[in-house]
Amino acid sequence: MNVRITGTGVYLPQKKITTQEILSTAKNHKNTLIEKELLQIEKSNGVQSRHVASDELGETTSQMAAWAILVALKNANLQPTDLDLIIFAGAAFEQPVPDTSVLIQLKLDLSKHGTPCFSIHATCLGFLHAMDIANAYIQSGRYQCIAIVCSEISSKAINPHDPHTYSLFGDAAAATILTGTTGSSHIHHSYITTFSEGAYYTEIVAGGTRKHPNHHQCSIEDHSFQMKGREILKFALPKSQDVLDLIWPNLSRTTVDLDHIITHQPSRIGLLAFQRFFPIEKTTNTLHKYGNCVSASLPLTLHEAIQQEQVQRGNKILLFGMGAGLSIGGMVLTY
Amino acid sequence: MNVRITGTGVYLPQKKITTQEILSTAKNHKNTLIEKELLQIEKSNGVQSRHVASDELGETTSQMAAWAILVALKNANLQPTDLDLIIFAGAAFEQPVPDTSVLIQLKLDLSKHGTPCFSIHATCLGFLHAMDIANAYIQSGRYQCIAIVCSEISSKAINPHDPHTYSLFGDAAAATILTGTTGSSHIHHSYITTFSEGAYYTEIVAGGTRKHPNHHQCSIEDHSFQMKGREILKFALPKSQDVLDLIWPNLSRTTVDLDHIITHQPSRIGLLAFQRFFPIEKTTNTLHKYGNCVSASLPLTLHEAIQQEQVQRGNKILLFGMGAGLSIGGMVLTY
């Protein structure tokens, strides 16, 4: 049985803010650190605007995920009850227990249907691992219609005093419906690897058993996303060539086999690094308008590329990303 | 390709405390709520002792997981570098980013090897979903040698003023190594379902996007495990019969097909409820000595049953559990 991306869908929070608006707010709050650095940072990180989820509008992690799944199901001409499995593959959970997939199933009104669900966590590469799992499930006959959804509200876990991360991340949810098919759609190959020497380049320190709020004084920094961007690139780039060639033969030297490439959207510098390998005319980028949406960047950018017909049925595409871990991975599929 | 449990392993924290010792501590701290109720509770929840992880002894979530994997690998006569994939399937992470599987890979000194890893979260049923994923991966040829590990330090996230949960949970790590085989070991069938109407019967409220510590005043209660035990049983029991018969034909009426049964170890009342369906002479229980070890209870109890030769090669066994979600699931396999 082959595997087909039958539908994709996105939910973007209603509120959209530009870097200029962040700057104005920073001025009002006399947050001079932000004020001084922000415009400089927009130039360097490439994010001009990003969406921000609002509790008042009911834009919770699980609700945004459910809305994205409903769009994807509509595009697939399917109903929620057609789903055999829901995988939540986001980095930021709604609450520690139960796992977020349960709350998404609740929002989709599937409790009586009993639809199986679980969460996977691999930070920015959660979507790739979930695609890999869905592929194995469909091939082995375990499940036949699977929703993968990434929903991220990074705005809650960024430090307003760290202009680098504050202006980089955006909130979004993006879903993909996968079904078994006897047609030509197919996942050809995937390869994901983790180099844990880089484990502490990207982290949120507090909230788990390492620094639990019931036992430690935890600061805003401890509960916020911290990223050593330069160190990541210095660590990851020398490894990229070998990893690329394990994803697809000669991928570090040529993309001649591929019609289109969807990458994670880490930052402007990250995208420039990817351009060493992937010609810009074969890629779709969403960083400038949505920011780095963590796990949701890959399926969100895939959705946009499909909507804009940059990815069409029968195209051979690469999904590629790097994430906390440090992990690097990719998947080649015929859409 | 069939799937074989090639090795199992457990790590139990060095410190073991009896309910009597908790009572003495409570007396010293003049925690009268605990003092009054604790002995009563031992009778009702059935936990006489539990292990408690200690930072001073280096017993972190990832280190305990790595130690359990090393034992399982030794029992399987394999090396860490033989692993194609590590799945962390615990409910309580070490830190929110990176995911705990990365930190386990680091402790196993596999960074240079680049062993793929990710986490899955389905609270007490994480192990079952991970077994299901590993089965699909091995069957589809994606990975051939997989470590699943559940490591739980619940002692950090229990409220000392709630005697019900305070005395119920225990810390432990348990690992299982799965490999492809042409022999008779085989996963026959699995079925896992979630009824999200019961989502809020078991929860930890704070720490994610719902109640984030950077935006809310969070109490000890908010960061602690809360469980409505009676409501869970009232909600789950009427559904059990149907679910059991979807796990294995007629399972609600007979276990004649099965040699042995390993269940999650929720509480004494939970185990009594399971005994409606599973004769006690066919089960192994570990609740009294280790407490409810959340996701680790299933693989820990499986390991003990194998060590005590209650489960032997060629036996057909059932793994069964209930967890936050509310989820119910089971898997029948030939060991």
pLDDT of residue B45: 80
Q: Name which of B97, B103, B80 is nearest B177 in CA terms.
A: B80
Are B206 and B327 within one domain? yes
Q: What is the pLDDT of residues B38-77, one digit of tens each?
A: 667 766 788 989 999 999 999 999 999 999 999 999 999 9
What is chain A's length? 335
Read off the CATH number of the domain in which A149 is found. Answer: 3.40.47.10
pLDDT at B42: 67
Residue B309 Cα, gap to closest chain A Cα (Å): 31
Instruction: Choose the final residue of a domain: B183, B204, B219.
Output: B183
Q: What's the pTM?
A: 0.96
Instruction: State the pLDDT at residue A249.
Output: 96
Same domain, A120 and A266: no
pLDDT at A19: 82
Among A94, A98, A214, beta carbon nearest to B202: A98
Find the CB nearest B215 among A53, A114, A156. A156
Q: Which of B168, B183, B198 is at the close of a domain?
A: B183
For B116, the closest of A102, A153, A193 (CB atoms) is: A193
What is the per-residue pLDDT across B266-301, written as a single tens digit (0 to 9) for each? 999 899 999 999 999 999 999 999 999 999 999 999
In the prediction, which pLDDT does B249 show? 96
pLDDT score at B233: 86
State mean pLDDT over A126-138: 97
Beta partners for residue B97, in sequence order: A204
Which residues form the domain of A131?
2-182
Average pLDDT for residues A105-115, to the nearest whole number?
Answer: 97
- A-chain CB neighbours of B137 within 8 Å are 133, 136
Quick check: B55 and A209 in contact, CB under 8 A? Answer: no
- Both B178 and B287 in one domain: the answer is no
pLDDT of residue A28: 66
Nearest CA distance, B182 vs chain A (angstrom) = 16
Both A201 and A169 in one domain: the answer is no
Q: Do A116 and A241 fall within a single domain?
A: no
Q: What is the ipTM of this complex?
A: 0.95
B232 with B244, same domain? yes
Q: What confidence score (pLDDT) does residue A32 get?
A: 63
Find all residues with CB under 8 Å of B124, minimum gap 6, and list them.
B91, B264, B266, B294, B295, B297, B298, B321, B322, B323, B324, B327
Interface test with B, best of A54, A64, A84, A102 (most B CBs within 10 A): A102
Torsion of CA A298, A302, A304, A308, to 10 degrees: 150
Q: Which residue numbers in chain B have pLDDT < 70?
A: 25-39, 42-43
- At A274-294, the pLDDT tens digits run 999 999 999 999 999 999 999
Report which secondary-structure segment, H or E, holds B99: none
- Interchain pair A196, B105: CB under 8 A: yes
Q: Given strand B260-263, what is the order of strands in its sheet?
A: B186-194, B327-334, B316-323, B260-263, B283-284
- Is the pLDDT at A213 greater than 70? The verdict is yes
Select from B139, B161, B183 the last residue of a domain: B183
Q: Are residues B60 and B105 both part of a single domain? A: yes
One-letter amino acid of A62: S
Q: Do A194 and B105 touch (CB under 8 A)?
A: yes
> Could you say which of A122, A195, A224 has the minimum Cβ distance to residue B111?
A195
Indicate if B307 and B202 belong to the same structural domain: yes
CA angle A71, A76, A77 (to 5 degrees): 95
Higher pLDDT: B269 or A100? It is: A100
Predicted confidence (pLDDT) at residue A24 exceeds the cutoff of 80: no
Do B194 and B330 belong together in one domain?
yes
Q: How many other C-beta atoms can be found within 10 angstroms of the C-beta atom of residue A58?
A: 11
For position B32, what pLDDT does the model report?
A: 62
Query: In chain A, which residue's Cα lies nearest the Cα of B224?
Result: A214
CA distance B310 to B315: 9
